[in-house]
Structure 1
Amino acid sequence: MASIPGTIYWYRKIFLSEQVQIVHGHSSFSAMAHESMLHAWCLGIHTVFTDHSLFGFADASAILTSKLLLQYSLINVDQTICVSYTSKENTVLRAKLNPQKVSVIPNAIVKCMFQPDLEKFSQKPITVIIMSRLVYRKGSDLLVNIIPEVCSRHPTVRFVIAGDGPKRIPIEEMREKYKLHSRCEMVGMLPHNKVRDLLVRGHIFLNTSLTEAFCTSIVEAATCGLHIVSTKVGGVPEVLPDDFITLAEPESYQLSEALLQAIHQLETGKLISPQERHDRMSPMYQWPSVAERTEVVYYSAINDRPGTIKERFKK
């Protein structure tokens, strides 16, 4: 926020020269989003904010974000968008917003980019795909216990891990300790156009996030025909039908058991086919729908009567 005075001139010039009617900011931690919305409000321009993440209420970063950024910044916002109902509840509580001015619009993907590969899916051995940033918030520490436990109880299952981060080192050490190099492949960071090619190598997608507002990666994996095993956190239970996903608490033992259960169901033919998953996912989470619902929010923002400074600070 230290750059607010220095950006006034440029934001004002852009907003006026482009005849901007709505400024839409994204992410609680984006200084640019909060600065642009503040300057827009000062110029009488309507504002919309989208929150993509969940935060706690007790740790230092969450308190700082909720108090200094959200409560003081979003007090001026006309409409707010969240990606799940859990995310909406979290944002309303943290920023002390009027729930009637908070809409839920989930993320979307381009379905044609995530076609299943039935030939690869029929191949053995069973492969579990993990794709995320290797950081604490994504539950990467849990993998150190889950992978050797599952490998010890199933003779052929393989893991493929895509992503990078500080938690890659403990995972590499785990591979060394249990001699799992042939059964646990590390592919590092992937460009987005390579995501589908990796997903179709697998049968099951494992998500170990400790907090998640929506989780687009499980939508991409399910559209590619993979069964999902995930932590039961945040907005994840809202995202997929019950027969698409196996949920467990964010603990190593419970996730291991859930993963082994999914592997057994796959081996015994009790899971639905990849093509059926893709077909059922196709009408869901489409960008045209997101655009239409966002347009409704924009019109609501424009039709809102701007409150006076006194009215806003009485909230």
Structure 2
Amino acid sequence: MVNICLICDFFYPCLGGVEMHIFQLGLCLIERGHKVIVITHKYQGRSGVRYMTNGLKVYYCPFIPAIQTVVLFTYIGTLPLFRQILLREEIHIVHSHAATSYLGGELLLHAKSMGFKTVFTDHSLFAFNDAASFHVNKILKYILCETDHSISVSHVSKENLSMRASLDPREISVIPNAVDCNKFTPNPQKRYPLNKINIVVICRMTYRKGVDLLVDVLQIICKQHPEVYFIIGGDGPKKRILEDTIQRYHLQNQTELLGSVPSHQVKDVLNRGHIFLNTSLTEAFCIAIVEAASCGLCVVSTNVGGIKEVLPQNMVLYANPTPSDICDKITLAIPLSKNFQVYQQHELVKQMYSWEQVAERTEKVYYQILQKSNQTLLKRFKDCFSNGQIYGLYLMILLILDLVFLVILDILQPNQRIQKSVIFNQVYKKQKEKFGDHSFKSEQNI
């Protein structure tokens, strides 16, 4: 049995690809006999320790998000609490998710200083020519140079991560996302409104998800195909643009905005449609199109990032990320969707993806890194300086501070479990010398 800590800024009650990946992976690892905990920051209405399905233990730590659902990179500020949790739960492996989760990055560094094995899973693609991606990549390079192993959700994501963080591709495994197909079953009888071709869109209303593309496509398709009805779910900063477009072009009779859709209602929304539309500008792995395909919808998606690795060409129509090409593919999908083999497609998707396979492959990564020896302190200093003279010196100072604070915490807050074990061994030795072996047979008897 391996004791595993999954950590990320993004977790329930927020719903998305990263959140569902952590939740489903944790449940499957528990079913395989491992102990799993999740560490995240507090959300509105959720703080402290909570237990979820199958006893999945979640620590909602008292850290306030600064931007959306991401906390600031405080480094030393989170160390005392993280140390107590990791020691109390007797963790063996710390597994962080998402490059933009600074909470996860901090714990990876602290865990390495404490001697734990570390794993990182990347879920997104990042560029090299904008300020935000530049800073994310610099921080990620420092964090991952000390991480024992990395995981990407697609081969495109693996190549992107290798270049961004200057990692050896042999130290990156590709383990795709998955979908619980038993929860996404087709039901064509739920399609409404009737006598329409319903196009479903469910995504976060952000620039990366291609909402600006969706706005242009909406105008063209509604004008060319009066029989089309758009069902749009999701929330975010770009939602206002969508609402203004619908009002300006009087598309209320052909569109329906659902707002944020709870996870347990996603299947019902998908079953209303004939076609699922994804207009993302970048994706490492798009779970949404797998869920839609499992529900028997004809999928139209932009051909960006690792999307082409997700579904075979007979299940999806790929389009260039331009309004004209997306509209052309929707026009092709409309007659196909009328006689689509929904149940046959569901069975095919069910054979392709399962969380049990993801957990099994992740488990192999855990066993692999547990056999590795930890990095020496000299190697960690060299890794810091590999990031440049000025930035490397700054990182080395952070590493020294981390180690110094750990020594101080070990003095002020000793590990009670280690102390208890030492005391037990001393008592056991004395009793054995005095009374023989039969007085104390196991630690459970105390």
TM-score, normalising length from structure 2? 0.68
* Counterparts of residues 184-263 of structure 1 (less than 5 Å): 184-263=255-334
Match of residue 164 from structure 1: 235
**Secondary structure in 1 matching 2:373:** coil
Match for residue 161 of structure 2 among 82, 86, 91: 91
How far apart, in 1, do the equivalents of 2:222 and 2:89 lie?
A: 58
State the distance in 2 between where 1:249 and 1:75 align.
Answer: 35
Report Cα offsets for 1:285-308 as digits up to 9, x if no partner.
201101100000101111122222
CA distance in 2, matches of 1:143, 1:12: 46
Contact 1:118 1:275 in 2 (8 A): no
Conserved in 2, the CA contact under 8 Å of 1:54 and 1:234?
A: yes
Match of 1:176 among 247, 256, 268: 247
Report how far residue 2 of structure 1 moved. 4.4
Structure 2 portions without partners, runs of 5+? 1-71, 387-446
* Deviation by residue 1:235-275 (Cα, 9 ceiling, x = unmatched): 100000111100111111111111111113334x4xx4110
Q: What is the CA–CA distance in structure 2 between the aligned matches of 1:108 and 1:249, rounded to whole Å? A: 25
Residue among 302, 305, 311 paired with 2:373: 305
Alpha-carbon displacement from aligned partner over 1:137-168 (angstroms, at most 9, x marks no partner):
11001122111211221121110100112222
| Alignment check: 8 A CA contact 2:200 2:270 kept | yes
For 2:191 and 2:344, how far apart are their aligned partners in 1? 13
CA offsets, 1:67-123, max 9 Å, x none? 1x2111111100111111111111111011111111111111211111100323595
Distance in 1 of aligned mates of 2:151 and 2:112: 18
* Residues 194 and 235 of structure 1: CA distance in aligned 2, closer, same or farther (over 3 Å): same
- Stretch deviating more after TM superposition (171-180 or 206-215): 171-180
Deviation readout 1:182-229 (Å, 9 max, x if unpaired): 111101001100000000000100000001010111110000000110
Q: What is the root-mean-square deviation in Å for CA atoms of aligned residues?
A: 1.5
- Structure 1: gaps of 5 or more residues: none
Secondary structure of the 2:140 match is helix
TM-score normalized with structure 1 length = 0.95
Mapping of residues 6-155 of structure 1, within 5 Å: 6-67=77-138, 69-120=139-190, 123-155=194-226
Change (3 A) 1:88 1:265: same
1:80 is paired with a residue whose SS is strand
Q: State how far apart, in whole Å, the 2-side matches of 1:9 and 1:177 are.
A: 54
C-alpha contact (below 8 Å) 1:82/1:88 kept by paired residues: yes
For residues 138 and 8 of structure 1, the distance between their equivalents in structure 2, rounded to whole angstroms, comes to 35
Give the distance between the partners of 2:188 and 2:232, measured in 1 at CA: 21
Residue 293 of structure 1 aligns with which residue?
A: 361
Query: Which runs of at least 4 in structure 1 moved beyond 4 Å after TM superposition?
Result: none
Q: Structure 1 residue 309: deviation in Å?
A: 3.5
Q: Which moved more, 1:35-44 or 1:304-313?
A: 304-313
Higher relative contact order (CA 8 A, sep 6+): 1
Equivalence for 1:3: 74
Cα distance in 2, alignment partners of residues 109 and 162 from structure 1 = 19
When Rg is computed on C-alpha atoms for both structures, the one with the higher figure is 2
3-state SS in 2 of match to 1:111: coil
The letter of the residue matching 2:90 is Q
Q: How many equivalent residue pairs?
A: 311
CA contact under 8 A between 2:73 and 2:106: conserved in structure 1? no
**Aligned-partner SS, 2:351:** coil
Residues 114-135 of structure 1 deviation map (CA, whole Å, 9 limit, x = unaligned): 1100323595311000000111
Partner of 2:253: helix, strand, or coil? Answer: coil
Asked if structure 1 preserves the Cα contact closer than 8 Å seen for 2:188 and 2:272, the reply is no
